[in-house]
Amino acid sequence: MQMTFRWYGEKLDSIPLKHIKQIPGVSGVVWSLHDLPAGDYWPMERIEEVKAQAAAYGFNIDVVESVNVHEDIKLGNANRKIYIENYKRTLVNLGKAGVKVVCYNFMPVFDWTRTDLFRPLSDGSTALFYEKRKIESIKPTEFLEDMSKQGISTMPGWEPERLSKIKELFMAYEGVTEDDLWGNLKYFLEEIIPVAEKNDIKMAIHPDDPPWNIFGLPRIIKCKKSLDKFLKLVNSPSNGLTLCSGSLGTSANNDIPEMVRIFKERIYFAHIRNIKRFDNGDFTETSHKSSDGSLDIAEIVKAYHDIGYRYYIRPDHGRHVWDEKCRPGYGLYDRALGIMYIHGAWDAYNNSTLL
């Protein structure tokens, strides 16, 4: 496996590359051009600029997270042609720059969804939290107001331009079913996967977070059955997965080590984080340590180790610890601790005399 760390870029991330450099065993930064709206074409100069910044610290830029998919593509609108064309041209440029994996998601309107960005845990740290009853009882517009009070505008997938059009977007999705979304995803894949193949890129879809429908919007990438269906839509090695333990794991029916073993050939990016599920349907994010959450992270790492996983891993979200001021979920300290937990487990499995 190759360990990576998500970095929002010089302007948008408070964590400098020189600090990331001091986390043991990290070979690359996971990056994006976060200032460009979904659907825009990524010019070569902008890509080369990030590549040079990363290279100055010896990091590769093999993994992009995300090239976001424009809503017109998810909706299947006539304009999708323009945005798909931009997507293809962007993939060609990324291929030229040596990018190997492109993560993206196909969630309508919202990316990941939580109700609290800084909910205290019993140890005095804070973490992202999801309250089921609140999501079920609040209107999407109220929810957004609440989020912006908590500082959501700085989050990936929550770009202000997109969210300002929220009412229109909800109207556009009225009557759009899960089957429609599957159809639009298939159309998108049939267009872009051949381009990915030619440019030696693995596309890696991120599962829906949480993996169930919210605010009446359909969500389709949420369990073993749907991952299997997804991979068969376009049966190519370039059509693969980002297996996110913390997204899929909020549903107790999803067995992550089992998924790692089943989908081993097509997982190109592993997001590892722990969550704790409560009986009422709420969940909180926790440290990576297995005993802190509902997921056995050591067992998940073992599954990757057993399959001889050679692709990319990153710690997904972390808690906010030691009074760090950071983007929700994306501080330096707890993600660095997560990396060391994963390395520790991996090295122990490498050397069975330690077990």
- Name the segment binding ligand CS2 (CB under 6 A); options: 101-109, 133-141, 182-190, 230-238: 101-109
Q: Which is nearer to Mn ion, 83 or 304 (CB)?
A: 304
Catalytic residues: 206, 244, 271, 316-317, 330
- By CB under 6 A, is residue 295 in contact with ligand CS2? no
Q: Does 65 bind ligand CS2 (CB under 6 A)?
A: yes
Closer residue to Mn ion, CB minimum distance, 15 or 205: 205
Say how far apart CA 177 and CA 219 lie, in whole Å.
9
Per DSSP, helices labelled H in the chain are: 17-20, 44-55, 71-75, 80-96, 132-137, 140-150, 160-163, 166-172, 178-198, 224-233, 245-248, 256-262, 297-306, 333-350
| Residue 244 sits in the site that holds Mn ion (CB under 5 A) | yes
Half-sphere exposure of 242 (CA within 13 A, CB side): 27
Site for Mn ion in 148-207 (CB under 5 A): none
Member of 100, 202, 222, 271 binding Mn ion (CB under 5 A): 271
Q: Give yes or no for residue 104 binding ligand CS2 (CB under 6 A).
A: yes
User: Would you count residue 74 as binding ligand CS2 (CB under 6 A)?
Assistant: no
111 near ligand CS2, judged by CB under 6 A: yes
Shortest separation between residue 353's beta carbon and ligand CS2, angstroms: 35
Q: How far apart are CA 286 and CA 319, in angstroms?
A: 6
Among residues 62, 131, 292, 316, the one that binds Mn ion under rule CB under 5 A = 316
Let me know the angle formed at the C-alpha of 245 by 303 and 210, rounded to the nearest 5 degrees. Answer: 155
Contacts of 103 (CB under 8 A, 6+ apart): 30, 63, 64, 65, 66, 204, 205, 206, 242, 269
Confirm if 332 and 317 have CB atoms less than 8 A apart: no
Binding-site ranges for Mn ion (CB under 5 A): 244, 271, 316
Binding-site ranges for ligand CS2 (CB under 6 A): 65-66, 103-105, 111-112, 156-157, 206, 209, 244, 271, 316-317, 329
